[in-house]
Amino acid sequence: MNSSVKIGIAPINWSNDDMPELGENITLEQCLSEMQTTGYDGTELGHKFPKTAEKLHPLLETYDLSLAAMWHSTYFVENSDLEKELDQLQQRIEFLIEMGAKVINLAECSRTVHSKKDIPLSQKPIFSSQEWDRLIHGLNKAGELCNQFGIKAAVHHHMGTGIQSLDEIDRLMENTDSNAVFLCADTGHLTFAGIDPLLVFEKYIDRIVHVHLKDLRGSVLKKVRAKDCSFLEAILSHVFTVPGDGMIDFKPIFEILASSAYEGWMIVEAEQDPAWANPFQYAQTARDYLNNNCKQLITR
């Protein structure tokens, strides 16, 4: 087994962070136990997890799991207090260091609509040139801070945010410091945004330090696009699923990662209603698919 590439799964498959009512009856212990049983190496932070390393570290060890990364919302565009933003980031960095993680996923959430059930995705924020300048400056400072502690700052493009389209991802990558600001490439969000994920992996493989493996149901995607619904409505419509159960061909992506000697985590993520899509069964489906289709990454 190649220790430089690990396969994890996100707790959002069991309990949704933006809609806590989804999976509210599922205990953290059930979630972690099922992650372990289905053969995953680690997880990301979820809202049911202990928030201190003192409590979380021994809990994950009980299930032979590691913390791969965590989400951190930034507000560089709308918050004029850069020092406050960086202070909050440093608190997360210190927690990750204690947990032995190497990546933090930064999502710019200024004016985001991704967590608002009544606002359609067409109303996502579009940043002005001045706002882009603040964002680039803030992310460069964030990346410098992360570098000081040996953490990679991976920007998470996301539906409903100001970094969603290919043009926005390109602008981000072209204007930030390539030695300090990296990318969390999410196959599901790329596809939802109308971007061929293979294109992004080919173009930015040298800056991809974290991967989210998310699939989509093609027939549902067509419907939610036509309806122009909110991101949360799309989730409730079952647009997302795990790799191997949807429309994305992951094999070329795995080939690029393997040929580039990618070292990092690949995290299975499918925002589904666990009452409709049994998390354990879908975790097993994804694990089986990855075992059969990305051996060049996990056994090289």
Query: Across residues 140-146, what is the average pLDDT?
Result: 98
Residue 297 confidence (pLDDT): 80
Burial 241-261 (b: 16+ CB within 10 A, else e): bbbbbbebebeebbeebbeee
Query: What SS3 state is found at 271?
Result: coil
Q: What is the mean pLDDT of the chain?
A: 96
Burial environment of residue 199 by CB neighbours within 10 A (0 to 12, 13 to 18, 19 or more): exposed
Take residue 246 and report the two structure tokens written for it: 């949807």
Among left, alpha and beta (phi > 0; psi -120 to 50; other), residue 269 is beta
Domain count, the chain: 1
> What CATH number is associated with residue 97?
3.20.20.150
Burial 66-80 (b: 16+ CB within 10 A, else e): bbbbbbbebbbbeee
**pLDDT over threshold 70, residue 146:** yes
Take residue 289 and report the two structure tokens written for it: 């698919």
pLDDT tens digits along 217-238: 999 999 999 999 999 999 999 9
pLDDT tens digits along 170-221: 999 999 999 999 999 999 999 999 999 999 999 999 999 999 999 999 999 9
Query: Across residues 89-104, what is the average pLDDT?
Result: 98
Residue 3 confidence (pLDDT): 53
**pLDDT over threshold 50, residue 300:** no
Domain coverage including residue 137: 5-298
**pLDDT over threshold 60, residue 1:** no
pLDDT tens digits along 34-72: 999 999 999 999 999 999 999 999 999 999 999 999 999
